[in-house]
Structure 1
Amino acid sequence: MSSSHRIGVAQGTALYVGAVLGGGVLALPALTAREAGPASLVAWALMVAFCVPIAGAFAALGMRYPDGGGVATFAAKAFGPRTSAPVGWLFYFAVPVGTASAAIVGGSYVADALGGGYLMSLAVAAVLLFGAYISNWLGLKLSGGLQLLLVGMLAALMVVAIAVAAPDAQSEHFTPFAPHGWLAVGHAATLLFFAFSGWEAVSHLSGEFSDPRRQLPVVTGLTIVTVAVLYLGVATTSMAVLGSDPDRSSVPLTLLLERGIGDSARAVTAVAAALLTFATVNAYIAGGSRLGAALGRDGDLPRVLGKGHRAGEIPKRSLVVLASLTAVLLTCAAVLDIRLDPIMTAASACFVAVYVAGLSAAVRLLRGSTFGRLGAVVSLVAVLTVFCFFGWYLLLPVSLVIGALVFQRCTSGRGKGADTSGTPVAEDSRESSSASVAG
């Protein structure tokens, strides 16, 4: 890649902010307020503080291994190539859960603007996801410029919402401060992992910087500051203006904007939420489908999924699997009335498991970097602490890891290492080839 196509500080910061600042902010202020009341702001502050060491660890890994393989590659380098399969499964099978969560959030804003309820939110989510799968099936992807524009529009809306609603803040909305006890803060933090995930997704971009060792620390610092200001600003303003009543704060960004622009706020935020949601799920589906094809090619998923793994090809079989799992999830949510909270928590559990893999690799790989390894150790301890609050949701990532290991054992010796065209794939190349799309 020529230097003219390398990522600079400005573009890198925009991409990192776009990955970390996802659609979760549209719903999470309401969900965490319902979980822990005003004390949920403590969870927001703790998660922002958590970003510092975890981002430092991933930045150090990117500086040391700028080939851009992502978390699965870091795990493979630290613990051997076979560890990329469990990490790959965690990411691949979290895509339907994570994209469904994001789509339901966007759908709730559209449903609110149209006067509909949860079933309409699910219907809108299905339409958004269907469009994203069709886009990937046809090989169409939203350009990076458009995706950054959509994220920038959301950030601008958040700033405007904070500015116009702040004068309506009421101190009584902060009392009682912890109506559900302090343990609820930990449960709120599990939900917030959905909002603060993204560092693992952008880890593969480290190889695209023209000077990773100089640029990555700057980009990481700017991203942390930007995300912290926007997230804490919206969460605090939402609590101060709307309180923790779930009936009044289910779509907090809309309700905050109404203070300044009236009823048109619903239409504005509905369109913005739909576009942002589409951009987010489109990107995750594109990456997840290619990861599935790579895992199939390398024998870490059924080899039938390996078709379409080459650059420029469309991994249609992998797309069918992801689309089918997503359809089943949305159908179950509609029939069984499964709300957003458990779906988002399930996705967060898988994301946390990916973080555990990446940070464990960082502890082993960053022995020569005092700051990077310290950040990895602190982050790993924090992640494992939050892990305790997921309860039975941990069965999902544990089951995926066990499934990957069982699949490896059952398929070992059956031509593992051959791609779908029958060409052998060297074992020592799998850690880079299969994980390079995991980001």
Structure 2
Amino acid sequence: MAEILSVRAFLSRARVVRVRDARRVTHTMKRSVSAIPATGGNLSTTHGVALYVGAVLGTGVIALPALAARAAGPASLVAWLGLVVASVPLAVTFAALAARYPDSGGVSTYARRAFGPRAAAAVGWWFFAAVPAGAPAAALFAGGYVEAAFGGGETTVYLTVLGLFIVVAIANYFGVRVSGRMQLILAGVLVTLLVVAAVAALPQADLGNLRPFAPHGWLAVGSAAALLVWSFAGWEAVTYLAAEFRNPPRSLPRATAAAIVIVGGLYLAIAAASILVLGASAGSTDAPLAELLGRSFGEPAKAVAAIVALLLTLGVMNTYYAGAAKLGAALGRDGALPASLALGSRAGEVPRRSLLLTVALGLVGFAIVALTGVGTDSLVLATTGSFVAVYAVGAVAALRLLPRRTAAWWTALAAVGMVLMMLAATGAYLLWPLLVGGSSLAYVRGRRRRMAGGS
């Protein structure tokens, strides 16, 4: 009898163990599934190329060739080439992370996985705050080109800015599929116009304009590079849309490779044409692209340059607002912003609340500039500081998240080195992301206290 009881006890304990194991396995599976970001979007590799071109080949090509030439003369071409090369490991690193962890949180998600929720909140706020600051500056650049072509003073500039905000808001309100299609058209027209501008200027190129090559000394190349950081911001923007791709591991690396070639080639072509064709006057004009087109096509070039400026700005704003809207929803989902913004964080959903908030903040930034008369320089530099801070955390996070000693890991290590140089070039303007990051930590801490008090 005792033996029978002992056997029954043994079988009973075995059943309990099996039930516990089954529960443990089920719990582990649920955690694993919840940790895998949901995908199932509609974007393709071609959409990815268009989004990258729109984000990176932005308003920098409108004015920065002249600013760089003013700082370093023909030697500014060295700065352009250096930043094209430096952008490769950064772009490849973010593509590797986005393919491995496709989520609307983008770099914020990578920071969460690598360093925890506080780092994720800071990174998310940096990007979310950078878009409302950078978008008005970009729109005002485009408005300046339109005013130069058609006149009308500040009224034309301000109406152009409002028009850009309205178009971008409507396109993204109906989802990333609509804004993605718009981006395809914009990128195609934009690339065609820039290629035409560079090729049409070739017959007027003069190698004599390369002398003296470094009129302000070689140290001026560093100053030019600091200005050009704005031109190469954008490689992180598509990470927030990674879950909207049909096949992120396949599409994102291919889109990144193609975009690096297209963006790098066009930047170098326009910068070289500005130096070789315009010569010493390359640094004295505020609209080098208009000057290049004017040399080839005459007076109608101003209208063409205005169209290019509008397309460039529309492409940049479209990509960044699509990414920021998704990010805002993800931050609401993760507790770094109000939960009311969380709707739309999943793939295929439209984050309308987050989009409207982002557009509203952008209009507030524009109103501040318009009412106070403050120039766009402060907005540009604050935006650059925020982006460099995002790059820094994202690159370091990649060293923890990507498989060690693989090609992607070594590329991330190179990206960290590039970001360190960007941080040095940004200097005092890192105070803005420090302020925003501190505010994000205060918000998260306060939210946790409210939740603890409510429970």
Q: Please tell me the TM-score bracket, short chain as reference.
A: 0.7 to 0.9
Structure 2 residue 86 is matched with structure 1 residue 50: yes
- SS of the residue corresponding to residue 199 of structure 1 reads coil
Supply the AA of the counterpart residue of 1:288. A
Q: Which residue of 1 aligns with 2:189?
A: 153
Within the candidate set 390, 393, 410, 2:446 is matched to 410
Aligned counterparts of 1:300 and 1:266: Cα–Cα separation in 2: 45
The within-5 A match list for 1:176-195 is 176-195=212-231
Distance 1:138-1:229 versus aligned 2 partners, 3 A rule? closer
Shift of 1:342: 4.3
| Deviation at residue 392 of structure 1 after TM alignment | 1.8
Secondary structure of residue in 1 paired with 2:181: helix
The residue that corresponds to 2:131 in the other structure is 95
C-alpha contact (below 8 Å) 1:191/1:345 kept by paired residues = no
Are 1:358 and 2:389 an aligned pair?
A: no
Structure 1 segment 12-161 matched on structure 2, within 5 A: 12-67=48-103, 69-115=105-151, 119=154, 122-124=157-159, 126-132=161-167, 135=170, 143-161=179-197
Q: Which residue of 1 aligns with 2:352?
A: 314
CA 246–240 in structure 1, closer or farther in 2 if over 3 Å, else same: closer
SS where residue 182 of structure 1 aligns? coil
Given that 2:40 and 2:245 are in contact with CA atoms closer than 8 Å, whether structure 1 keeps it comes out as no
Most deviating of 120-129 and 88-97: 120-129
Give, in angstroms, the shift of residue 242 of structure 1: 1.3
Letter paired with 1:314: R
Offset of 1:219 from its aligned partner? 2.7
Change (3 A) 1:120 1:46: farther
The separation in 2 between residues aligned to 1:313 and 1:48, in whole angstroms, is 33
C-alpha distance in 1 between matches for 2:171 and 2:51: 20
Distance 1:88 1:9 in 2: 25
The yes-or-no answer on 1:372 pairing with 2:408 is yes
* Aligned-partner residue type, residue 377 of structure 1: L
Structure 1 residues 35 and 41 mapped into 2: Cα distance closer, same or farther (>3 Å)?
Answer: same
- 3-state SS of the aligned residue for 1:415? helix
Check the 8 A contact 2:39/2:243 in 1, yes or no: no
- Listed one character per residue, the Cα deviations across residues 121-175 of structure 1 (whole Å, up to 9, x for unaligned) are 7535533455347637976885322222112211111111111111112234323
What does residue 26 of structure 2 align with? Answer: none
Q: Deviations over 1:324-377 (max 9, x none)?
A: 233213433xx24x2x44432321111111111110110111133521111111
> In the alignment, which residue of structure 1 is the partner of 2:32?
none
Per the alignment, residue 436 of structure 1 pairs with none
Gaps of 5+ in 2: 1-36
Structure 2 residue aligned with 1:228, among 235, 244, 264?
264
Contact 1:242 1:248 in 2 (8 A): no
Taking the TM superposition and a 5 Å limit, the aligned residue runs for 1:133-282 are: 135=170, 143-245=179-281, 248-282=284-318
1:262-287: CA deviation from partner (whole Å, max 9, x where unpaired): 21111122123224423432443344
- Paired residues, number: 413
The whole-number CA distance in structure 2 between the counterparts of 1:296 and 1:214 is 29
Which amino acid counterpart does residue 50 of structure 2 have in structure 1? Answer: A
RMSD: 3.3
Q: For the residues of structure 2 that align with 1:402 and 1:69, how far apart are their CA atoms?
A: 19
Q: Distance in 1 between matches of 2:180 and 2:146?
A: 24
Shift of 1:45: 0.4
**Kept in 2: contact 1:243–1:249 (CA 8 A):** no
CA displacement at 1:9 relative to structure 2:
3.7
Structure 1's unaligned 5+ residue stretches are 419-423, 425-439
More helix by proportion, 1 or 2? 2
Deviation at 1:8, TM superposition (A): 4.2
- Structure 2 residue 360 is matched with structure 1 residue 325: no
> How far 1:307 sits from its partner (Å)?
8.0
Structure 1 stretch 41-50 or stretch 200-209: which is displaced more? 200-209
Matched residue SS, 1:243: helix
TM-score by length of 1: 0.83
Q: Could you tell me which amino acid in structure 1 is paired with residue 180 of structure 2?
A: G
Query: By how many angstroms is 1:404 displaced?
Result: 1.4
Q: Aligned to 1:22, what secondary structure does the other structure show?
A: coil
1:349 to 341, 363, 385: 385
Letter in 2 for 1:321: L
Superposed displacement of residue 113, structure 1: 0.9
Q: Deviations over 1:27-68 (max 9, x none)?
A: 211122222222211111011101221122122223322456
Change (3 A) 1:262 1:350: same
TM-score by length of 2: 0.80
Which secondary structure state, in structure 1, belongs to the residue aligned with residue 149 of structure 2? helix
CA gap of 1:33–1:102, structure 2 versus 1, over 3 A, is: same
1:78 and 1:403 map into 2 onto residues whose CA distance is 21
For 2:82 and 2:68, locate their aligned partners in 1 and report how far apart those are by CA, in whole Å: 13
Flag the structure with larger Rg: 2
Distance change in 2, residues 1:417/1:147 (3 Å): farther
Summarize the Cα distance change of 1:213–1:410 in structure 2 as closer, same or farther, 3 Å threshold. Answer: closer
Q: CA 1:213 to 1:319, structure 2 compared with 1: closer, same or farther past 3 Å?
A: closer
For residues 4 and 212 of structure 1, the distance between their equivalents in structure 2, rounded to whole angstroms, comes to: 9
| Cα distance in structure 2, aligned partners of 1:331 and 1:388 | 33
Aligned-partner Cα distance in 2 for 1:307–1:330: 32
1:169–1:237 Cα contact (<8 Å) kept: yes
Give the distance between the partners of 1:236 and 1:262, measured in 2 at CA: 20
Conserved? CA contact 1:254–1:265, under 8 Å: yes
